[in-house]
Structure 1
Amino acid sequence: MNTVGLPALGLVTIGQAPRSDLRPDAEPLLPGLRLVEHGALDEEEFGGADDRAVRRRLAPEPGEAPLVSRLRDGGSVLLGHGALVPRLERAVARAERDGAVATLLLCTGHFPAVRSGRPLLHAEPLVQHGVAALVGAAPVGLVCPRQDQRDDVAGRWTRLLPGRVSAAGADPYAPRDEALDRVAAAARELADGGAAWLVLDCIGYTEEMRRAAAGTAGRPVLLARSLAVRAAAETVAAHG
């Protein structure tokens, strides 16, 4: 498809771009738009002699809730908020130089202000408020990437949702079959615990993982990446 001349949506990941795992799910939701991808860690080198030093530099501070994102080679990295903000600002600036009318920050974690010259959309509020509008007071089960994120994730959602909130961990960046099994197991655990709705609360979860969760748990499953991308498309259309 020739995308020259189409309005552009910036997609900025907290890891590395391009996100080959994201495009197959995102593109059908964005007809008539050009995607501009950049990553906060595009300038970082992983896998070499300095790999450990790079990861230490990016790691969460003691007591800080960790973030997880995907690298270009399909691996993952554990990240802290403070190390990411200046890198995210540079990635957003690159997206805007490439013509992005608006940029979507592809992370459901909570961030301090990130400077931008054009509309910058944070996935977390887009996802959270979209879910809140759909589920009402029903109990909600959240699947997040790591077990040690459960308390932080559940706490942030509890402040928004009137119903009971529970969380379980399942790594979306594990090898494909392992990731599908983990997501299905987490979904089943949450459904067995009384969740009426499930939310795959990380941009790394895919449509395939949604199907695995729904098939195992027998509950409606909302996908963070779909909710965020659909809302971002509206912003581009409004500014188009």
Structure 2
Amino acid sequence: MPKGHVGVLTIGQSPRMDVTPAIQSILGSEIQITESGGLNSLTDETIHSIAPRETEITYISRLRNGSSVKIGKDKLLPLLQKELWRLEEKTDIIIMLCTGDFPALETSKPIIFPDKVLNHTIKAISSGSLGLIIPLEEQRNSLVKKWNQHNLHIITEVASPYEESDVKGAAKALKMRGAEIIVLDCMGYNMLHKQDAAEGSGLPVILPRTLVARIAAEYVS
């Protein structure tokens, strides 16, 4: 029998075969994972309904077919809430598979929000210049605003985890602009992206998916 049951909630569609195996490797084979996704109820014909308005907070995530999609936050929240209620009935703790801010979500189970974990981690270890690698140009202003609460000097570069992009070059640019530590600010970034960022910059690089997986492992172990 599994020793614990962890839920993984993506803002896109599940299963997230690009992310979940890395989480499972940290949790161990005795921990069961159940996945769900905010866009699971949408089809190829209805996926356009979550396209962001010009002024809306925009996220990006992966669909079941491997393609990526831009998502408007206001349209996503009610879909995400329904999936969260279903997921909490089956699990001990839930990992939110997005580094965005979701204070409106309600759940009766413990939930790990990567944005909170990242913010507190950086606050604990750094007070200088923070380099962010982010997926979309249109996210720049909202993410800088989110991180500014710690009075850090925020520097950003764009390199998407969902298509060919120069993560190594983005990290090198952050280093040249004065960054002292780098956060890959999306759950879509993987260990190869982290390695590229470290090689490009020579700086410490924080990868959200492995960070939150280790916290979940501590909880269920």
After TM superposition, the score normalised by the length of structure 2 is 0.93
**Alignment partner of 1:146 is 2:136:** yes
Tell me if structure 2 keeps the 8 A contact 1:198–1:222: yes
Q: Deviations over 1:81-100 (max 9, x none)?
A: 11111211221122223x21
Mapped partners of 1:65, 1:81: distance in 2: 6
Displacement of 1:38 in angstroms is: 0.7
Displacement of 1:45 in angstroms is: 1.0
Mapped partners of 2:92, 2:139: distance in 1: 33
Q: Which residue of 1 aligns with 2:15?
A: 18
**RMSD, aligned CA:** 1.6
Mapped partners of 2:209, 2:118: distance in 1: 8
Mapped partners of 1:154, 1:10: distance in 2: 29
**Alignment partner of 1:156 is 2:153:** no
**Alignment partner of 1:121 is 2:112:** yes
Percent identity, aligned pairs only, is: 34
Aligned partner letter, 2:43: E
1:1-240 alignment to 2 at 5 Å?
Answer: 4-31=1-28, 32-46=30-44, 50=45, 54-55=47-48, 57-97=49-89, 99-134=90-125, 136-160=126-150, 162-174=151-163, 178-179=164-165, 182-237=166-221
Displacement of 1:192 in angstroms is: 0.9
Mapped partners of 1:220, 1:234: distance in 2: 23
TM superposition outliers: structure 1 runs of 4+ over 4 Å: none
Where structure 2 has 5 or more consecutive residues not aligned to the other structure, the ranges are none
Q: Helix, strand or coil: the match of 1:61?
A: coil
Tell me if structure 1 keeps the 8 A contact 2:9–2:36: yes
After superposing the two structures, state which structure 1 stretch, 140-149 or 123-132, moved more: 123-132
Q: Deviations over 1:18-74 (max 9, x none)?
A: 11111232122212421111111111112xxx2xx532x212233122100011111
Q: Aligned residues, how many?
A: 220
Q: Helix, strand or coil: the match of 1:16?
A: coil
